[in-house]
Each structure stands twice: as C-alpha cells, then as structure tokens.
Amino acid sequence: MSCLFAGNQTTNKLSGPYMNRLQHETSPYLLQHASNPVDWHAWKPEAFEKAEKENKPILVSIGYSTCHWCHVMERESFEDQEVADFMNENFVCIKVDREERPDVDQIYMEACQVLTGGGGWPLNCFLTPDKRPFYAGTYFPPMPAHNRPSWLQVLMNISHAFQTKRETMEDQANRLTEIIQNSGKKFTGSQLKVLKDGCPFRKDLLDKIFQNLERGFDKLDGGFGAAPKFPGTMSLAYLLNYHYYTGEKTALDHVLLSLDKMLMGGIYDQLGGGFARYATDTKWLVPHFEKMLYDNALLVSLLSDAYKITQKEIYKETIEETLEWVEREMTHAGGGLYSAQDADSEGVEGKFFVWDRAEIEQALGDDAVFFCGFYGVKEDGNWEGKNILWREWAFEDFAEKIEADPSFLKTKLAKARQKLFEIRDKRVHPGLDDKILLDWNALMCSAYAKAFSALGHEKYKIAAVKNLQFIKEKFQQPDSPKFYHTYKNGQAQYDAFLDDYAFLTEAMIDVYEITFDTEYLLQANRNVEYVISNFLDDTDKMFYFTSAEQKDVPLRRKNLYDSATPSGNSTMVRNLQRLGILLGNEDFRQLASDMLLSMKGSIEKYPSSFGRWTSAIANEVYGIPEIAIVGDAAIEKARSVQAIFLPQKTLMASTVTNNDFPLLANKEPDVDTYIYVCQDYTCRQPVKTVAEFVQLVRSI
C-alpha cells in the first residue's frame, strides 16, 4: 500500500482545543494524532491496565510519519467525533509509530499477513486485553467501498463479536500467536543434515545463489523484477562480491546498469541529492518521493564499493551529493541523523520536487533548451502534467548529440541546477521526521566510513566519528551496556532492539578501520557479548529481535529476512565473522558458522530475501582477508589499502607493537612499514608497497 506523509500537520493540529495523551510523546507521527477526538494511548502500561480492568479489546493502529494513507484514514475516521466516540466507548485505542516500535509492528503485521494474505500501513490490529491479536487489516474507508467495509462497520462487528463470541476470539488469538511464534522455523534447517555434505560451504553454492538472482534481473532497466522497483542494495552488493571472487562479468554489469539507471532516474533527486524510497515504474522515473535515511545509507555504501572497482566519476558525484543532502537537511547539531523526509508538501505528493517547463524556461532563459533536453523536461510533463527531472543521457553522449564540449556542458548544467535548487529551496519544504533512531544512524555511520575509504574526504571520517560520539552520549543507558532505540528533544527511550546493536557494532568495526582506535573494537566486543547474553536462542542459534529483559510485547520474534534494511541476524553473522578475526575469538566465528548452516537452504533458494546472508556465506566459502600494517607509515598505507575493493576484509594498522590483538601481535615496527596478508592467522611474506599488496591478496 502506498504510504506518504501529509505535510506539516503537526504544527497546525497541536493548536486545536482538544489534546489527548499523545501530546506528551516525542514521535512526530504520534504528535500528529494528539488532537484527534480518539482517546489514544501510546504503547505504555496504563493502556493495558485499562484494557484488563475494563475487559475491553485493544485497537492498535500503527503507521509512520511519511505514510499518506495513514493520514487519509485519520482525516476520514479518527477526526470524526461519532467514530471516535464509538472507539472510545468500546476499545482501548493505542497509536504506534512503527519506526519507534518495530517490535510491536512486526508482530501485528505478521498477524495481518496471516489473516489477509497482505499487509501495509496504516495497520489496524485488534487484540485481547493481554495483547494477543485476533483480527487485523490495513486501510478502511469511512463508507463501504471497493469490497472493503467501512471503518465503523469493522468496529461494530469486532465489538459485538468480542462481547458475544469471546471464546471464538480467544481461540483465534491463540492460533495466531502460535503461528507468529513459530514463523521463523520454516527458514532454518537441520545442521546435522547439512553437515552430512562434508563441506557445507562450497563454491557451487555461490553459483546457485547467483543463478537464482540472475533470473530476476531486469536486463533493460536494471534492478530486479517489475514495478514497483526497490533498490535491492544487498543483492547488488552480493553480485559485486561474486564478481570479485569469480570474475563473472554479468554480475558486475548488472550492478553497474542498476546503479546507472537509478542515479540517472527520477528516484534520485537531480537537484538536491539523495534517493527516494522506491520507483513506481520499471524505468526508475517516478519515485515514491519520500527519502529515508536507511535507503541512502545502503546506497552510499554500495556506490562506494562500485567506485573502488570502476572509478566512475558519476558514482563519486552521487556519493558527494547524497551526503551533502544528509548534512544539509538530515543532521542534528550534535551529529545525530534524522529519520525521513516527506513525499508531500502542501498536501500534494511530490509538489516540492516537480516542475512545469515554463518555470524552468523563465528561470534559465536561453539555457533552458539544453537543460530540458538533458533532464527529460517536456511541455506537457512526464508525470501527471508535471516534470520529474531525470537523465536519459550520459554527459559525454549528450554533449556529442548537441555538438558541445563535455566539460563546458557539465559546467553549464551545474550552474543551471544550482539556480533551480535555489528557486526550489524557497518552496514549502516537505515535512521532516526528526526523531533519531539508533539503527538507522548506525547504518549511515557505516556509509560515511565507507565513503571515506572510497573517496578520502576527511569530513566523512569526522562525521562518522561524531555520529558514534552522539550515539554514545545520547543513547547509552547510564552505567549499563544497554542502549535506547530512539532519541528526540533531549529524551531517549525504549530499550534497543537487535538491529540497533547489530548495526551499531558494524559501524564501530567500520569506524575502527578508518581511525584505528582500538576502543571501537572493545566497545563492539561489549555489544556482542551483551547481545549473546540477552538475545540469543541457544536452541537454534538465532537471535530474537527483543531482549530477554523486555516484557511489554506478547511474544519474542526472530527476524531473518533482509528486507528494506538488513536483518539483525544476518548483520550479527558478519559482525561475528569480523570480530572473531580481529579479537581472536573462535567462539564468535563458530556461532556465525552455526547460524549460516541453519539458513543455508533458504539463502540458496530465496537469495533476494536474504541479501546480506548471501555475502556472509561468501565469507565462509572464500574466507576473509586478514590485513595488518605495522610501521611508521602504517596509517598512510592503510589509507591506500582502504581504497581497494576487497569484500569483507579485516584491516588493522598500527605504528607500534600491540600484542592485545592477534593480527598485530609479534609484528615489530621497523624502519620500513610492512603489509601483512594472512588467512586463518597464517601469514604470507610481508610486502612494503601497495602494488605488491594487490598482487599478493589476489593470489590468495
């Protein structure tokens, strides 16, 4: 279901005369509902105490700040006094921001998918007073339409059934809860069965993964499958790795085709930088206009790797422009990063981003002709009568077409873009979801580290370090290894989830490898030890999404899919692999192997659903290069090594001996700086130059 955001509603609505409990929350999404006549609660104990005391069913309504249909349903139903009165009389009503409470959203979204075969937001789920779901759906109109009952009809039917058929509702709740509890088991197999293969992680497994991904290639426009088209960054990352290991040109070609088409398309903001969440068409022209922090983090990371391989200038420019957008519009003064930028402004989808040709002609004068030709601007528009800027041509090809010098054309286009950017900047801006989430911040922190390794811009390293410092200061709980999940207006809340710890640990490893401050590795180790103690299920060696200490959800789920963001479990596998080497911890490496053994069959069959798992399996097949650089010029040489594409390498550098870490142990600094290349702690003869290093590492 398409989800957009209804502009700057928060400010206007908070001026109303009635305010419910949500006025005390920090989530922009919850605050948008603070003046509804519905007696909304947040997901907090008082709501459940009320439901138990009054023996009422609970309605949990879940959405997020950039969800268009969430706000449509709000206007149509939740702002209607008659509907609100019925809701207040017969239900305990709870509003949830899915980004603030992904644990709650995951449970009830799965209930909706089991019951209806689909899902989306707004998500409306009905629960027993002890939080077990028994009915769910998405958007319901104010009047019956399109084979959907009205919202009031749904409410009346649920209320009547709960009062007169309570036993049936309880039975349904029990069945649903059991299904959700066991849903992850279908993806994990018997390790004993896998181990009978002798060597479970063989090169032919990677070939099968590639072949299954290849079946979904859109060979004309890049990406995977038909519209709507999502970036598919994790599968594309696997293809880069697979090309490195095997030399398979088709894999690399598809990554480059996909990236080229995306960054030239309307899914990329040609004036302001940054990628929209997905395209509604196969050609990447028409975006779903909102920009999410996590999408841009994953794309910057992928572009950084692609740039290391190709040195294509357009990848460098796209990284720079995207991170300029992050710095300009998504960064808190202290170094934290905001969550999302809206699709709508003034209540209209995409209004901020689109153009009439006449506007461009008035702004650019004679330069409008070549600008419109390059960016696909038409008199009657290319989308709903308006123009989305996109690039059909590479600079060089377009310059040849119009018989212009490429560098001259590039300069003129840059000036024209800047002029239009300044005009656009005076428009009403889309809304900003300014809550700061630990997991999404950590993803962008890793992206900054990877962009620094690719381009060498010092400001990216500074941003990554500053972001980790912000996380430590604002998210870490006092005198505890625990973190919070969300922060806004000086307040951090909700215990962190698996994804938070997994992505944060990954960011700490990534930032270590550009700063070589070993405190990051020690903190990463503390994170992993805490996660193993509080999230691991010893029966199947998978991690729960919620900590054993968290008691406010009805069950604990294990999230295995890599979807819009990587799963915490697949990310933990890679963390365990890397830290196992960096810290010399064989228990970490064994746990990673055990997890992959359980998931092997599912990863092979459904690689597009387990994109980050696929790269972790490649690490088991080919091993992870262990690189140590020791000597006076260690940091300088490490910088050159960072700029080379190596899948999932581990890199340590030091100007002094450091026997606390296996890769550095017993390596005495000398007049010359040496680069050591090892695998499973067996090292080749050290070399002095980066050129020698490249030859050596390719021979492994």
Task: Tell me the CATH number at 66.
Answer: 3.40.30.10
What does the pLDDT average to over 538-547? 95
Question: Rounded to 5 degrees, what are φ and ψ at 484?
Answer: -95, 165
Residues 687, 191: Cα–Cα separation, whole Å: 41
For residues 647-663, one letter each, b for 16 or more C-beta atoms within 10 angstroms of the residue's C-beta and e for the rest, the string is bbbbbbbbeeebeebbb
Residue 11 has a pLDDT of: 34
Give the rounded distance of the alpha carbon of 166 from its chain centre: 40
Residue 4 is assigned to a structural domain of this protein: no
Residue 335 in contact with residue 480, Cβ under 8 Å?
Answer: no
CATH of the domain at 320: 1.50.10.10
Q: Across the strands, what pairs with 674?
A: 630
- Confidence band, pLDDT 50/70/90 cuts, at residue 189: low
What does the pLDDT average to over 389-396? 92
**Residues 26 and 98 reside in one and the same domain:** yes
Residue 197 is assigned to a structural domain of this protein: no
Residue 13 has a pLDDT of: 41
Residue 145 is assigned to a structural domain of this protein: yes
Number of domains in the chain: 4
- Domain end marker among 588, 622, 656: 622
Residue 376 is assigned to a structural domain of this protein: yes
651 pLDDT higher than 90: yes
The DSSP element (H or E) to which 278 belongs, if any, is strand 278-279
Q: pLDDT, tens digit, for every residue of 258-316? A: 999 999 999 999 999 999 999 999 999 999 999 999 999 999 999 999 999 999 999 99
48 pLDDT higher than 80: yes
Residues 6+ apart with CB under 8 A from 327: 463
**Residues 275 and 397 reside in one and the same domain:** no
**Residues 232 and 158 reside in one and the same domain:** no
Residue 197 has a pLDDT of: 53
**Residues 405 and 460 reside in one and the same domain:** no
- Domain end marker among 579, 597, 622: 622
* 382 vs 666: which has the higher pLDDT: 382
Instruction: Look at residues 277, 293, 327, 275 and name the one whose alpha carbon lies nearest to residue 439.
Output: 293
DSSP string, 512-581: HHHH--THHHHHHHHHHHHHHHHHEETTTTEE-SS-TT--SSSS--------SS--HHHHHHHHHHHHHH
Q: Angle between the 438-455 and 313-329 helix axes, to the nearest 10 degrees?
A: 140
43 pLDDT higher than 60: yes
**Residues 271 and 364 reside in one and the same domain:** no
Beta strand pairing call for 92-97 and 58-63 = parallel
How many CB atoms within 10 Å of residue 417? 18
Range of the domain at 369: 353-426
- Confidence band, pLDDT 50/70/90 cuts, at residue 1: very low
Residue 681 has a pLDDT of: 67
Q: Across the strands, what pairs with 292?
A: 340
Residues 144, 151: Cα–Cα separation, whole Å: 8
232 pLDDT higher than 80: yes
Residue 6 has a pLDDT of: 32
In a 13 Å sphere around the CA of 395, the CA atoms on its Cβ side amount to 14
Q: Across the strands, what pairs with 434?
A: none
The DSSP element (H or E) to which 54 belongs, if any, is helix 45-54
Residue 190 is assigned to a structural domain of this protein: no
Residue 193 is assigned to a structural domain of this protein: no
What does the pLDDT average to over 428-441? 96
Instruction: Look at residues 630, 617, 698 and name the one whose alpha carbon lies nearest to residue 664.
Output: 630
**Residue 561: both structure tokens together:** 């899919």
Q: Across the strands, what pairs with 59?
A: 93, 126
In a 13 Å sphere around the CA of 412, the CA atoms on its Cβ side amount to 18
Residue 600 is assigned to a structural domain of this protein: yes
Percent of the chain predicted with pLDDT > 90: 85
SS3 309: helix
2 pLDDT higher than 90: no
**Residues 618 and 630 reside in one and the same domain:** no
**Residues 631 and 650 reside in one and the same domain:** yes
Residue 673 is assigned to a structural domain of this protein: yes
**Residues 124 and 104 reside in one and the same domain:** yes
Residue 20 in contact with residue 34, Cβ under 8 Å?
Answer: yes
Residues 78, 9: Cα–Cα separation, whole Å: 14
Q: pLDDT, tens digit, for every residue of 341-374? A: 999 888 888 999 999 999 999 999 999 999 999 9
**Residues 614 and 643 reside in one and the same domain:** no
- Confidence band, pLDDT 50/70/90 cuts, at residue 491: very high
Residue 4 has a pLDDT of: 33
Residues 109, 137: Cα–Cα separation, whole Å: 9
**Residues 407 and 517 reside in one and the same domain:** no
- Confidence band, pLDDT 50/70/90 cuts, at residue 198: low
Q: What angle do CA 437, 439, 440 make, to 5 degrees?
A: 70
Residue 62 in contact with residue 121, Cβ under 8 Å?
Answer: yes
Residue 8 has a pLDDT of: 34
38-47, 87-96, 487-496, 679-688 — which is least confidently predicted? 679-688
Residues 528, 110: Cα–Cα separation, whole Å: 28
**Residues 99 and 32 reside in one and the same domain:** yes
List C-alpha distances in Å: 421 to 54, 270, 415, 425, 426: 56, 9, 10, 6, 9
**Residues 260 and 388 reside in one and the same domain:** no
Residues 6+ apart with CB under 8 A from 164: none
Residue whose pair of structure tokens reads 């000597």 in the numeric block: 631
Residue 648 has a pLDDT of: 84
Percent of the chain predicted with pLDDT > 70: 96
Q: Across the strands, what pairs with 630?
A: 654, 674
Q: pLDDT, tens digit, for every residue of 603-630? A: 999 999 999 999 999 999 999 999 999 9
- Domain end marker among 592, 622, 652: 622
14 pLDDT higher than 90: no
What does the pLDDT average to over 533-540? 95
Q: How does the average pLDDT of the chain come out, rounded?
A: 93
Q: Angle between the 498-515 and 438-455 helix axes, to the nearest 10 degrees?
A: 20
Residue 169 in contact with residue 176, Cβ under 8 Å?
Answer: no
684 pLDDT higher than 80: yes
pTM value > 0.85: yes
Residue 101 in contact with residue 125, Cβ under 8 Å?
Answer: no
